[in-house]
Each structure stands twice: as C-alpha cells, then as structure tokens.
Structure 1
Amino acid sequence: MAETTQETPVDANEEDFMPQKRHYRQRAHANPFSDHMLQYPAQPSDFDVASHYPAFKDSGKRPEFADIGCGFGGLLIALAPLFPDTLILGMEIRVQVTQFVEDRIAALRIKQKSEDVKDPVPGKYENVSVIRGNAMKFLPNFFEKHQLSKIFFLFPDPHFKARKHKARIISPTLLAEYAYVLRPGGIIYTITDVKDLHEWMVKHLEEFPLFESVDEDVLLREGHGGILEAVKTSTEEGKKVARNEGSKYLACFRRLPDP
C-alpha cells in the first residue's frame, strides 16, 4: 500500500524570504532498502567539503557532528550557533525534505550577511549543511574512521511491524559502522516518543561492546546542556510530541576506546 503524503504546517514565525514547508510535500517515510538513485563519494576524501561549507574551504576541517535522518533541519539550525567552528552535516533520504533544508540554510546564510542584522548568529550558519543520503548503506563513504564526535538519531522511523524491524536505524550490524566513524569518547544521542523503539535501541546499544550508557546528569555536568536541550526541543517531531503532551525517551551512549 502506498504511504500517504505528509504536508507540514508552516511555522508561524517564518519570515517571508524563508522556504515554507507547504511547498515541499513529501511522503512521511522512505524505504531505506530501495534504490533511491543516490550519489555518494567513493571514499570520504572525495567528499566535497568546500561546496558544502565554502567559508571553511581552506580550514582542512571535516564534518564532526552527523544528524542521521535530519528531517527539516531543526537540530542543525539549533546547533549551528552553539558550535560555530564545528562542521555539522545532516543526512536525509527524502528528496523534497533535503531540498527544504538546503534552501533553509541558504536563506539563513543570506540573511546573516545582510546589513540589517543587528545581532548576527555566531558562524552565520556557514558550518551546517545537508546531503541526500542513506546512512544504512553509505555512511563509511562520507566519514573516515573516528571522524565524528557526535551522532544524532532523533525520532527515527519506528517501523512498528516486526517484519520491518530490520529497517530500524539501530541494529547490531549498523552499530559496527557507527562505532567505526565515531571517535572514542564520542556520543550517540537517541530520542523517540515510542517506548518500544526506545527499549529496542537501548538494548542493542547496551549489548554492543564499544558503547556504554551515559546518564543525562553526567552529560549536563560535562557541559552538554545546550545539545540535550536541542535534542529534546528543536526538531519538528519533538515539537509535535510536546504539543500533544507526549513522552520523550532519551538515551545517550559513549564510544569506548578500541580494545
């Protein structure tokens, strides 16, 4: 059966020049096992950093944060001014949603360069970008070993039916790839409003030998409060759960040193 088309309401505080979600209609979910005719680099060194982050083209920097399934880019936009010198990359498989995030970042960059901005955002959103990609298939094509310090899985598709659990973004096989691209000490952030999915992700992460659970209080003491707040509140799904007074289940895991 075909999936229904999702139309997202326009944010009330969006300015006229900003892209509006109603013009980017897209199915709510995409099958990660389908052939989506994706383009991807043969190896991470082929990833064109300069085209995504022109302000950093001579810096030698590469993306350090990855938002897997970034949706409409809420987390990217929230983290950009908090980490103006860190490159942040969103990965999204849906065509129109990826285009929306591209246009949103471009509009924000233009706005920040205009003379009428009294309090410019640190970094001016030059440190964030998005690619259309499938992390379940091509993550190592984009990121070197231990390149990332943070990976985010915010409100991923729950794939409720048991026969579709293999499509969940957290699985033993995929965790090996996340451990490969995440440096020791790096953090995986997961959040969902589906308790069954939360328990699934926690179970598999706890069973994987290169990750250990880290309490929210510990992360707060380590200065991760801004990130945790963005994880909980910045995404469209997170805002929808809050409006509906639903529960949010957060779980964070630290990458252990290699044996």
Structure 2
Amino acid sequence: MAKRKRNLQQSDNSAITLLPQKKHYRQRAHANPFSDHSLDYPSSPQNINWATHYPAYANTEKLPEFADVGCGFGGLLITLAPLFPDTLMLGMEIRVQVSQYVQDRISALRVTTTSDDSSPHYQNVSIVRANAMKFLPNYFTKHSLSSLFFLFPDPHFKSRKHKARIISPTLLAEYAYALRPGGIVYTITDVKDLHEWMKSHLEAFPLFESVDEEALRAEGKGLIIDAVYTSTEEGKKVERNGGDKWFAGFRRIEVARQ
C-alpha cells in the first residue's frame, strides 16, 4: 500500500512538472477573424490524417463528433474527454499561443494520466489552429458532428463589428451542413445582448429549433451542459465576479419546416 502511495505521489509530481503553465502562453484575448493569418489548412476533410490527432484510434474509421469553436485554453475539451471516452473531440482556436498551450496540455495529459483500466485517456481529444469562420467546412464532412459549441465568444460590441460575430446567417448554413440531424448547438455567454443576437439568428434559421435546458438534461445531456457552464476559463471568471451566464441550445432538424 505504501509503495502504491509513493507511485501515485510520483505520478502527481510528474503531472505537475509536465503540464504547461498558462503564463508562458499568454497573448491578446481576441484575434481578428478577417485578417490573413499564417494558417495551414486541409483542402477538404478527406485530406486530413486524423491518426496524427488521435493515434489511439488510427485503425478505426472514427471522426470528430464534438467541435469546440474558439476553444480557448481547452477547458471544455479536457472536461468532456474522460466523460465521453469513445467520442472524438476537436477544438478550433485561431490564436497561436493559446492553441499551442492546448496542444501541449493534451500531450502532457496523455502521458501523465493513470487509470485502473486499460482505456487510453485524453486520446480522444485534439486541437487545430484554424479560423472557423473561413475554414470550418475544410475539417468536417456533412452531418459528421453531433455537438457544436460556442462558449463565451467574442461579443464584438460595436455595431460595425457585428459582422465578425461567430453566429450569423451565412455561418449557420455551414454549421447546419456539418451538424447531423438531431445534433445540438450549445451557446453560452455573459453578455445578454450577444445571447439575444445568437438566439434570434438561430431561431430564424430554418434548420435549427430551440430546445430548452430542462429538455436537454432530460435527454441525458446534463454532463455536457454542466461542462458548458463551468469548465472554461471565461466561465470560471464570470463565477468569480458574480456575473450572469446566458445559455441556449438548438437542435439541427432534418428539413426546413413550413
């Protein structure tokens, strides 16, 4: 028993040593999605070698089912990965330092996390540095996603900046393409105006229908919703400051309703 305790302590110390520290990856809070960033992106989803992202699943035909757009420091991905070990998840983040942090964090967790079973931990989560407003269809095939997350996106407060908001009629067509019928779009923000903006645009789009939080929890999505509320750096900051969080969920429907 004492030997096992020492081994666990050594494992904990290794994890502390290997896990990256955010202070070494800091940069501006937001990036201009219309700028010409130096990005490498695939010409189509079929040209992606997913084995480099999920080596433990190299001999399977699995594709990412959860996509976290603007994943920040990866809090949602890291929380959901062990809860849904058979679901591949991909974060998309435009900021180079932040995306590098998430990549390093995942790599460290893969080698430091121990388990009593033989299941590979954090092998089901990965990240790409990408501008989702321009290149999301380059990563996801039609109806391949079951969950799409937009957590605390840049509010772009000024009216002339609203075109840069991640929810818009044009972009919703791309999200509907990637999301399978029955799939869920999860949004949350601490800015009520942005919440109303996202909600009104999703309600107006013919391939999405609103589904309230209680209904989603009744469908067994409580673990996901809890993570949406609490797992991100932004969400934790709102809690510390005593702010409000505005949640909305939308289901991808099969056809436009008359």
With the length of structure 1 as denominator, give the TM-score of the two structures. Answer: 0.91
Q: Distance in 1 between matches of 2:150 and 2:119?
A: 25
Structure 1 residue runs of 5 or longer lacking an equivalent are 1-13
Structure 2 residue runs of 5 or longer lacking an equivalent are 1-14
Q: Distance in 2 between matches of 1:202 and 1:209?
A: 13
Cα drift, residue 198 of structure 1: 0.1
Cα drift, residue 258 of structure 1: 2.7
Indicate the SS of the match to 2:85: coil
2:232 is matched with: 235
1:10 is matched with: none
1:154 is matched with: 151
1:170 to 167, 172, 177: 167
- Spell out, residue by residue over 1:206-234, the C-alpha distance to the aligned partner (whole angstroms, 9 max, x if none): 00000000010001110001000000000
Query: Structure 2: which amino acid aligns with 1:38?
Result: L
The 8 Å contact of residues 19 and 103 in structure 1, kept in 2 or not, is answered as yes
The 8 Å contact of residues 81 and 122 in structure 1, kept in 2 or not, is answered as no
The 8 Å contact of residues 80 and 125 in structure 1, kept in 2 or not, is answered as yes
Cα drift, residue 121 of structure 1: 9.5
Query: Structure 2: which amino acid aligns with 1:189?
Result: Y
Cα drift, residue 48 of structure 1: 1.4
Cα drift, residue 25 of structure 1: 1.7
Q: Distance in 2 between matches of 1:179 and 1:123?
A: 31
The 8 Å contact of residues 41 and 142 in structure 1, kept in 2 or not, is answered as yes
Number of corresponding residues: 242
Indicate the SS of the match to 2:195: helix
2:17 is matched with: 16
2:128 is matched with: 131
Q: Distance in 2 between matches of 1:92 and 1:125?
A: 18
- Spell out, residue by residue over 1:135-165, the C-alpha distance to the aligned partner (whole angstroms, 9 max, x if none): 1000111000101010000000000000000
Q: Distance in 2 between matches of 1:37 and 1:251?
A: 33
The 8 Å contact of residues 56 and 120 in structure 2, kept in 1 or not, is answered as no
Percent of aligned pairs with the same residue?
Answer: 70
Confirm whether residue 63 of structure 1 aligns to residue 64 of structure 2: yes
- Spell out, residue by residue over 1:233-255, the C-alpha distance to the aligned partner (whole angstroms, 9 max, x if none): 00000000000010000000000
The 8 Å contact of residues 150 and 189 in structure 1, kept in 2 or not, is answered as yes
- Spell out, residue by residue over 1:149-203, the C-alpha distance to the aligned partner (whole angstroms, 9 max, x if none): 1000000000000000000000000000000000000000000000000000000
Q: Distance in 1 between matches of 2:137 and 2:218?
A: 32
- Spell out, residue by residue over 1:42-74, the C-alpha distance to the aligned partner (whole angstroms, 9 max, x if none): 111111100000000111101011000000000
Q: Distance in 2 between matches of 1:158 and 1:95?
A: 20
- Spell out, residue by residue over 1:23-58, the C-alpha distance to the aligned partner (whole angstroms, 9 max, x if none): 002111000000002111111111110000000011
Indicate the SS of the match to 2:206: coil
Cα drift, residue 17 of structure 1: 2.0
Cα drift, residue 120 of structure 1: 6.5
1:258 to 243, 246, 255: 255
Confirm whether residue 196 of structure 1 aligns to residue 201 of structure 2: no
Query: Equivalent residues in 2 for 1:95-134 (5 A)?
Result: 95-112=96-113, 117=114, 119=116, 123-134=120-131
Tell which structure's C-alpha radius of gyration is larger.
Answer: 2
